[in-house]
Amino acid sequence: MTVFDPPIREYIKGGGFIELEEMLGDDLTPARVARISYLSKGDEEANRKLLKKLIDLGHFSPFEQQVFRFKIDGIPMYIGEQLLRHRIASPLKRSFRYTSPDKGKKISFTVEGINEIIHIPPELLGLRESHIENKDELLREMIEHFKKGIDLYRKLVESGLRKEAARTVLPAGLRTTLYWTINMRSLMNFLTLRLNPKAQWEMRELAKAVARILKRVVPLTMEKFLEKEGLEKYLHE
Amino acid sequence: MTVFDPPIREYIKGGGFIELEEMLGDDLTPARVARISYLSKGDEEANRKLLKKLIDLGHFSPFEQQVFRFKIDGIPMYIGEQLLRHRIASPLKRSFRYTSPDKGKKISFTVEGINEIIHIPPELLGLRESHIENKDELLREMIEHFKKGIDLYRKLVESGLRKEAARTVLPAGLRTTLYWTINMRSLMNFLTLRLNPKAQWEMRELAKAVARILKRVVPLTMEKFLEKEGLEKYLHE
Amino acid sequence: MTVFDPPIREYIKGGGFIELEEMLGDDLTPARVARISYLSKGDEEANRKLLKKLIDLGHFSPFEQQVFRFKIDGIPMYIGEQLLRHRIASPLKRSFRYTSPDKGKKISFTVEGINEIIHIPPELLGLRESHIENKDELLREMIEHFKKGIDLYRKLVESGLRKEAARTVLPAGLRTTLYWTINMRSLMNFLTLRLNPKAQWEMRELAKAVARILKRVVPLTMEKFLEKEGLEKYLHE
Amino acid sequence: MTVFDPPIREYIKGGGFIELEEMLGDDLTPARVARISYLSKGDEEANRKLLKKLIDLGHFSPFEQQVFRFKIDGIPMYIGEQLLRHRIASPLKRSFRYTSPDKGKKISFTVEGINEIIHIPPELLGLRESHIENKDELLREMIEHFKKGIDLYRKLVESGLRKEAARTVLPAGLRTTLYWTINMRSLMNFLTLRLNPKAQWEMRELAKAVARILKRVVPLTMEKFLEKEGLEKYLHE
């Protein structure tokens, strides 16, 4: 268990970042606590073996004893919503009932400036291959549309409309930020589903960033888990 | 337990509706099953008394034995996301990774037509009092902005962009639809939080519609619960 | 969705039974509701195909839409406790804080009479092969010990001790009864873990009884699920 | 967040103890993370005020960000089972499928020796007032009965019976040990239910020990919570 000061940060391809702020338990905690079933004892070497065995046998409940608090910043709202589907977790999110999209930062209406507050598809930014030909035109229209949306939002709020209702005109790709406290067992399920090529590109990039952090703080657990589930290959796509 | 054919439908003020399709248990089921603790028996009259007593004493676990499957249609995405915060529930939602906003219906760019697929604040529709003066102007700009967003979305998709990424330009108030299977205990928590005046107007209207349906199918449970929590008054605001 | 009147009962080898009283949804409900993701439609034949596909792809969330209320009667307390490990479920149990072991039934101190209220290992009853040689002697001592425990319990209670504390002298194998409301997704996890030869014999017999009931009420779901997980073979051991 | 080395231990009246080994977050973490909703900032003094306000308003979700790993040693099995009713938690328990009651310790058949491995009601030990007159006789019979149970258990196991089945003759009050990782929100619910005079005496003593530890590590949270729920008075009964 450690407080990470500064937090361990990984950038998410396409925009945003994730930070690990704090962690309960360490790499071998699942093995140590699992010994309670048999009242057995073991040194570190034995615990390393037991940890691998737990994963091999699919005994995942001891991995609920590793708990992580992440801060995730700058993910599109629809990715944030997908995170909420993982019900064995404790999220706390920025609320657009109370905050304007420009709270705390001045918006610059350049491609880069916009991408900091609203998701721009990686295909248009040259971060992902595609056959789209009219990228510049689409990008220009997109920026313009986002600008109009924010202008309209401001006008609605100035006219006296509730922020929580005015947000109806904001784009679905608005970036948000959240705290996410979740245990390793639930994260294993998250990684299996979200590293998979069937997951949305934006979600996979978040999952990869999560995996990169976990490989640093629970390396043995991750090595064995990724190997067993055949997920290692997805980290490098 | 009953299949409701046709489903019990309640309209949500501001747009959309909710239907109860099916229900496990009935109004007195919590009392009947709670008797297992003491291996006691009771006739219907005794069960009615016991049901009230369970609520009075705050013994809510027997209310997990009443389970409801709702279909909710036409709520703004941010209200849908708020529903996901209730983790003791089983939601299944329409996915905008795969469906265009106009799937299954032709969009008409009138106020009424737009409000069927994108949330328009009730203040602008005259459904809720406000001091907003330039309603017509705001409404016109809003419709125009929504139209541009949908046009741009179509253009992005036609250019070869993934639907799941193109949705970044769609408005946050896009309406969605979901199945929601949830037990009465979790619904009690939902009603306490979401009928409260601190909840967003749009969410409160959904909560009221839920309450209206429940009053029809589990009347005794609801009467006692609303009374105990002092929620009845919120149903008529 | 159906109320089963009379309930569908299966006896558990070794003692006790399980009954399905009521069910939300039917065999094809997961397929029907899953169509909401794509807003697609399909006839019954298409739904049968989709159901199988959902299981093949490991898309289990739609199976939360099938919910079952079982009554389980006569399982040893330690098996009851193992059931509580399945946290995605709503159990309601007889409480030995309030009920004496003989509440509602006169205890007969024969092997058969005792086995109705306290678990006797199947090896001693000839229900399971073993190399135990002194069965009769062990059985006799066991019955005698159980009798003394119940006598002592009665004496403690008559002396004024709380029932909830007097139970300390009751045997761990005392049989209990509970309601258990649980969805199919959670049951799938239950079956995978509890049909497995590593599970305790007594638990496996309960799991088999659950499986026999489910095969009758959601036959297509079970056929595909058992096949995919390779569990069919365990039903006949 | 802290690793407690040595752990913070509190003894449970009647037998056993509970230790806090590790903790995620600290007393003010809920306030700090809750600020994400509004993207607000605050110094420590402001966070102390916010923490109290969160509790006053019943905003408990930020308290999921405080997570505790306890080790609980020596509670009767039926109290252990009651702990499992709290489903928002991660327990890992000693298994009597695999361990004999005397694993790791020699049993001494004195009152004190027995009470270390099997629960003896506090009324008989003079720890709790009662009108029971024949205490010595009851205590003697109880010890004798426990001794016979353990002898019979050993005989069954030596005859070749599975430990998991032989335990049927062990007393229900056998003491067990578990790890229990649980967040503060779930603990608040635990304390409200289990400090209450309606809870079993043995459970209340455990709840008091939990409360004593929490008052040391999250004093502000506990002070406000106990005050709001009116629970302080139960700690001193």
Q: What is the pLDDT of residue B105?
A: 82
- The number of C-alpha atoms within 13 Å of B118 and in the hemisphere containing its C-beta is 29
Among the listed residues A194, A204, A212, A216, the single catalytic one is A194
Which H or E run includes D179?
Answer: strand D175-183
Would the CB atoms of A92 and D37 count as touching at under 8 Å?
yes
What percent of chain B has a predicted confidence (pLDDT) above 70?
100
Task: Examine the pLDDT at B1 and tell me if it is beyond 70.
Answer: no
Determine the distance in angstroms separating the CA of C181 from the nearest CA of chain B, rounded to an integer.
Answer: 7
Pick from B25, B61, B92: CB nearest C62:
B92
Of B227, B170, B216, B237, residue with least CA distance to B51: B227
Which residues of chain C does D148 touch, with a Cβ-Cβ cutoff of 8 Å? 145, 148
Q: Which residues make Cβ contacts (< 8 Å) with residue D45, sequence separation at least 6?
A: none
Query: Can you say how many angstroms the Cα of residue B89 is from the centroid of all Cα atoms in its chain?
Result: 13
Q: Which residue of chain D has the CA closest to A63?
A: D90
How far apart, in whole angstroms, are the C-alpha atoms of residue A190 and residue B74? 29
How far apart, in whole angstroms, are the C-alpha atoms of residue C185 and residue C201? 23
Q: Which residues make Cβ contacts (< 8 Å) with residue B213, sequence separation at least 6?
A: B8, B10, B18, B20, B70
Which residues of chain C does B90 touch, with a Cβ-Cβ cutoff of 8 Å? 61, 64-65, 183
Tokens linked to D27: 């007393």
- Model confidence band, residue A1 (pLDDT cutoffs 50, 70, 90): low
Pick from A33, A67, A93: CB nearest D67:
A67
B194 labelled catalytic: yes
Residue type, A121: P
Which residues of chain B does A173 touch, with a Cβ-Cβ cutoff of 8 Å? 167-169
Residues 205-234 of A with CB under 8 A from B: none
Asked if residues B36 and C177 have their Cβ atoms less than 8 Å apart, the reply is: yes
Helices and strands, number each (H, E), in chain C: 10, 5
How far apart, in whole angstroms, are the C-alpha atoms of residue C224 and residue C232? 10
Q: What is the pLDDT of residue B104?
A: 82
Would the CB atoms of A90 and D183 count as touching at under 8 Å?
yes
Phi, psi of A123 (to 5 degrees): -60, -35
Tokens linked to C123: 């090896």
- Residue D183, classified by CB atoms within 10 Å of its CB into exposed (0-12), middle (13-18) or buried (19+), is buried
Nearest 5°: CA angle at D233, between D232 and D234?
90
| For range A187-213, the mean pLDDT | 98
Strand partners, A180: A70, A91
Q: How many beta carbons lie within 10 A of that of residue C68, not counting itself?
A: 25
How far apart, in whole angstroms, are the C-alpha atoms of residue A83 and residue A89? 9
Would the CB atoms of A165 and B121 count as touching at under 8 Å?
yes
Asked if residues B86 and B189 have their Cβ atoms less than 8 Å apart, the reply is: yes
How far apart, in whole angstroms, are the C-alpha atoms of residue D98 and residue D58? 43
Q: Which residue of chain D has the CA closest to C118?
A: D168
Average pLDDT, chain B: 96
Helices and strands, number each (H, E), in chain B: 10, 5
Task: Examine the pLDDT at B216 and tell me if it is beyond 60.
Answer: yes
Among the listed residues B167, B194, B204, B212, the single catalytic one is B194
Pick from B87, B120, B148: CB nearest A145:
B148
- Model confidence band, residue A87 (pLDDT cutoffs 50, 70, 90): very high
Asked if residues A166 and A157 have their Cβ atoms less than 8 Å apart, the reply is: yes
Q: Tell me: the pLDDT tens digits for B187-197?
A: 999 999 999 99
Average pLDDT, chain C: 96
Q: Tell me: the pLDDT tens digits for D125-142?
A: 999 999 999 999 999 999
Q: What is the pLDDT of residue A105?
A: 82
Phi, psi of A222 (to 5 degrees): -70, -40
Q: Which residues make Cβ contacts (< 8 Å) with residue D230, sequence separation at least 6?
A: none
Nearest 5°: CA angle at D9, between D8 and D11?
160
Q: Tell me: the pLDDT tens digits for D190-209?
A: 999 999 999 999 999 999 99
Asked if residues A128 and A122 have their Cβ atoms less than 8 Å apart, the reply is: yes
Q: What is the pLDDT of residue D1?
A: 52
- Model confidence band, residue A104 (pLDDT cutoffs 50, 70, 90): confident
Q: Which residue of chain B has the CA closest to C103?
A: B39
Sign, Cα dihedral of B108, B109, B112, B113: positive
Tokens linked to A61: 């409940």
Would the CB atoms of D39 and A94 count as touching at under 8 Å?
yes
How far apart, in whole angstroms, are the C-alpha atoms of residue D150 and residue D134? 25
How far apart, in whole angstroms, are the C-alpha atoms of residue C156 and residue D135? 9
Domains, chain A, in order of start with CATH, read 2-91+175-236 (3.30.1360.170), 101-169 (no CATH)
Query: Can you say how many angstroms the Cα of residue C6 is from the centroid of all Cα atoms in its chain?
Result: 18
Strand partners, C236: none
Of D192, D58, C69, C78, residue with least CA distance to B60: D192
Tokens linked to A178: 């959240």
- Chains with at least 3 CB pairs less than 8 angstroms from chain D: A, C
How far apart, in whole angstroms, are the C-alpha atoms of residue A62 and residue A183? 10
Q: Which residue of chain D has the CA closest to A183?
A: D90
Pick from D1, D37, D93: CB nearest A98:
D37
Task: Examine the pLDDT at C165 and tell me if it is beyond 80.
Answer: yes
Would the CB atoms of D168 and C171 count as touching at under 8 Å?
yes
Phi, psi of C176 (to 5 degrees): -135, 180
How far apart, in whole angstroms, are the C-alpha atoms of residue B225 and residue B217? 14
In the three-class reduction of DSSP (H, G, I as helix; E, B as strand; rest coil), residue B23 is classed as strand
Contacts across the C-D interface (CB distance below 8 Å): 143
Residue type, D207: A
How far apart, in whole angstroms, are the C-alpha atoms of residue C30 and residue C48? 10
CA dihedral defined by A187, A193, A194, A197, rounded to 10 degrees? Answer: 150
Pick the residue of A128, A142, A169, A193 with the most B CBs within 10 A to test the interface with B by mutation: A169
In the three-class reduction of DSSP (H, G, I as helix; E, B as strand; rest coil), residue C99 is classed as coil
Would the CB atoms of A38 and D183 count as touching at under 8 Å?
no
Pick from A24, A90, A104: CB nearest D69:
A24
How far apart, in whole angstroms, are the C-alpha atoms of residue A176 and residue A163? 16
Helices and strands, number each (H, E), in chain D: 10, 5
Q: Tell me: the pLDDT tens digits for C8-66?
A: 999 999 999 999 999 999 999 999 999 999 999 999 999 999 999 999 999 999 999 99
| For range B169-173, the mean pLDDT | 98
Q: Tell me: the pLDDT tens digits for D16-53?
A: 999 999 999 999 999 999 999 999 999 999 999 999 99
Bigger pLDDT: C2 or A51? A51
Which H or E run includes C157?
Answer: helix C135-158
How far apart, in whole angstroms, are the C-alpha atoms of residue C163 and residue C158? 10
Q: Which residue of chain A has the CA closest to B75?
A: A168
| For range D84-106, the mean pLDDT | 93
How far apart, in whole angstroms, are the C-alpha atoms of residue D7 and residue D71? 9
Determine the distance in angstroms separating the CA of B69 from the nearest CA of chain A, rounded to an integer.
Answer: 18
Would the CB atoms of A146 and B169 count as touching at under 8 Å?
yes
Tokens linked to C232: 């069919």
C87 touches chain D (CB under 8 A): yes
Pick the residue of C152, C157, C159 with the most D CBs within 10 A to test the interface with D by mutation: C159
Q: What is the DSSP string of B97-163?
A: TT--TTTTS----SHHHHHHHB---HHHHTSS------HHHHHHHHHHHHHHHHHHHHHHHHTT--H
Q: Which residue of chain D has the CA closest to A41?
A: D104
Q: What is the pLDDT of residue A119?
A: 97
Strand partners, C182: C68
Q: What is the pLDDT of residue A32?
A: 97
Tokens linked to D45: 């003094």
Strand partners, C180: C70, C91
How far apart, in whole angstroms, are the C-alpha atoms of residue C69 and residue C178? 10
Nearest 5°: CA angle at B59, between B53 and B61?
130
Q: Tell me: the pLDDT tens digits for B25-58?
A: 999 999 999 999 999 999 999 999 999 999 999 9
Asked if residues D224 and D49 have their Cβ atoms less than 8 Å apart, the reply is: no
Q: What is the pLDDT of residue C177?
A: 97
In the three-class reduction of DSSP (H, G, I as helix; E, B as strand; rest coil), residue D121 is classed as coil
Q: Which residues make Cβ contacts (< 8 Å) with residue A100, sequence separation at least 6?
A: A153, A154, A157, A163
B148 touches chain A (CB under 8 A): yes
Q: How far is CA C234 from CA C14, C182, C221, C227, C231, in A?
A: 17, 22, 17, 11, 6
What percent of chain D has a predicted confidence (pLDDT) above 90?
95
Asked if residues B170 and B99 have their Cβ atoms less than 8 Å apart, the reply is: no
Tokens linked to D55: 């509790």
Helix C201-217 with C184-194: angle, nearest 10 deg: 140
Q: Which residues make Cβ contacts (< 8 Å) with residue C224, sequence separation at least 6?
A: C51, C52, C55, C56
Q: What is the pLDDT of residue D127?
A: 96
